[in-house]
Structure 1
Amino acid sequence: MRCEICGKKIVGKPVKTKIDSSVMDVCRECSKFGKIIREPSRPRPTKAGVRRAPKRSRRPMETLYEVVEGYGEIIRAERESRGWSREDLAERINEKVSVINRIESERMEPDIKLARKLEKLLKIKILEKFEAGEEERIEVGGFRGATIGDIARIKRG
């Protein structure tokens, strides 16, 4: 794991630190820029004196989706093939005409909910599953994402 501020590889456990209003996993050196968040203490014994293991929620991993390239042209072409105006489409999905304009001109990318509405109504495919494996391949290749430290110059006093 890498420090979210300086980008150095963290050996051992990262330090959870609150910097401004964000909680980040950082290295020991960068933890001095914020307030270290302590982990909660162990659960107290119950009345019978037996400790119970904390319940862990098992949420399934969310499937990530992304909008395909050229989504504006796909939506516009299907809308026009049906003979609908932008106003007609906007009314059918309960959105403003300005939203349809921005989506078709690709100045705005629809969120997943809106993209699903458009897919269902127009019977098109503009969402695709995001492959998590791509991120791993990029990191193996030596490229890592930008950290806050890459973007902002830290004032050292």
Structure 2
Amino acid sequence: MECEICGKPVSETNPTRAKIEGSVMVVCKECAKLGTIQKAPPKPRFQQNKKGRKNTQPKRNYRNDEPTEELIENYNTTVRNAREAKNWSREDLGKKINERVSVINRIESGKMTPDPKLTKKLEKALNITLLENVNDVDLNQFINSSSGERTLGNIVKIKRK
């Protein structure tokens, strides 16, 4: 395991985690001085079952807060082209989805990304698809494909306190 800042080897059995500039990273002892060292996560507590025995597996709450759908890259041109294909003005589209014309202008110019609720309204009114499914990314494929030479320390200038 390597330090995420300088690339020096870090103990895999007892890595040092430090919060630096708001991000928690695995770092070496020298780079840990740049932030505050974080405590190790608490060990899982075991729940007792109905018979009073301890379960061998802790109760886990699996919850995925990450969105499974993402806005397409060229959403602004897609919205404009669909609106123009229906021969609607921006005012017409605004009336259909109960939004201001300025909102439509900002979306079509790419200055504003629509929230999920507005995206659904646009999809329904224009009969287009603006959201695409995001597949789970295997981080190991990125770790294995890198040459091992690029670290955060190679990219960022470190300010010493």
What TM-score, normalized by structure 2, do the two folds share? Answer: 0.64
Q: Residues 155 and 102 from structure 1, CA distance in 2 versus in 1: closer, same or farther, beyond 3 angstroms?
A: same
Structure 1 unaligned residues grouped into runs of 5+: none
Q: Would you say 1:76 and 2:80 are equivalent positions?
A: yes
Question: Partner of 1:19 in structure 2?
Answer: 20
Does the CA contact (< 8 Å) of 2:97 and 2:121 recur in 1?
A: yes
Q: Does 1:105 align with 2:109?
A: yes
In the aligned structure 2, how far is the partner of 1:105 from the partner of 1:73?
Answer: 8
SS at match of 1:33: coil
Over 3 Å counting, the alpha-carbon distance change for 1:23 and 1:69 in structure 2 is closer
Question: Of the candidates 53, 63, 70, which is equivalent to residue 66 of structure 1?
Answer: 70
Aligned-CA RMSD value: 3.9
Structure 2 unaligned segments of length 5 or more: list them.
none
- Give identity over the alignment, percent: 43
Indicate yes or no: 2:133 matched with 1:129: yes
Q: Residues 136 and 102 from structure 1, CA distance in 2 versus in 1: closer, same or farther, beyond 3 angstroms?
A: farther
Give the aligned partner of residue 118 of structure 1: 122
**Given the superposition, is the C-alpha separation of residues 151 and 63 from structure 1 closer, same or farther in structure 2, using an over 3 Å criterion?**
same
- TM-score where L is the length of structure 1: 0.66
State the match for 2:94 in structure 1.
90
Tell me which stretches of 4 or more aligned residues in structure 1 moved more than 6 Å. Answer: 49-53
In the TM superposition, residue 105 of structure 1 has moved relative to its aligned partner by 2.4
